[in-house]
Amino acid sequence: MSVNLFRPIRYSVFAIALLSGVAYAVAPPVTGGEKRADKKNQEDPEYVAEMKAKVFSKEAISVANGEHRFNQTCVYCHGYKGSGGKAKMLQGRDFDADYLFKTITKGKKRGSLVMPPWKRTFTPEERWELVTYILSLSEEK
């Protein structure tokens, strides 16, 4: 009786062990150290410039990607199409691309209102895509 009761449990433990072994073989976990080093290299000015050129060279796709990300992460404070809300409106403005990149990277404060830095959330490529989207809003009203 007790054997019948425990057999399924023993089998599932075996299955879990087997599956996690397979998962480890397919995608071994990245250690924290490597990941941090990776992020640091990404902020290298040369790499950032390379990503800027890449993102601006396929503008239509970049704006679409930027819009998608903006709607997920930035709309809460900056409003639909950057129409404003908790933070200043971003549409109809005359922004410099490098200023936008730097501000998104480092965050910004106005009085008690704080925008966190996005450096750890988005890669330079993703930040440049956000820049192209915000620049595309300069003609919105």
Q: Which span sits near ligand HEC by CB under 6 A: 12-20, 24-32, 50-58, 73-81?
A: 73-81
Q: How far is the CB of 62 from ligand HEC (least distance, A)?
A: 13
CA neighbor of 91 nearest in space, from 99, 79, 103: 79
CB-nearer residue toward ligand HEC: 76 or 80: 76
103 binds ligand HEC (CB under 6 A): yes
Name which position in 51, 55, 63, 130 contacts ligand HEC (CB under 6 A).
130
74 binds ligand HEC (CB under 6 A): yes
- Give the separation between CA 95 and CA 40, rounded to whole angstroms: 27
Burial 91-128 (b: 16+ CB within 10 A, else e): beeeeeeeebbebbbeeeeeeeeebeebbeebbbbbbb
- Give the separation between CA 83 and CA 85, rounded to whole angstroms: 7
Three-class SS of residue 113?
strand
R_g over Cα of the chain: 23
Name which position in 88, 97, 105, 125 contacts ligand HEC (CB under 6 A).
88
141 binds ligand HEC (CB under 6 A): no
CB-nearer residue toward ligand HEC: 6 or 99: 99
Which residues of the shown chain bind ligand HEC in the complex (CB under 6 A)?
A: 70, 73-74, 76-78, 86-88, 90, 100, 103-104, 108, 110, 113-115, 118, 130, 134
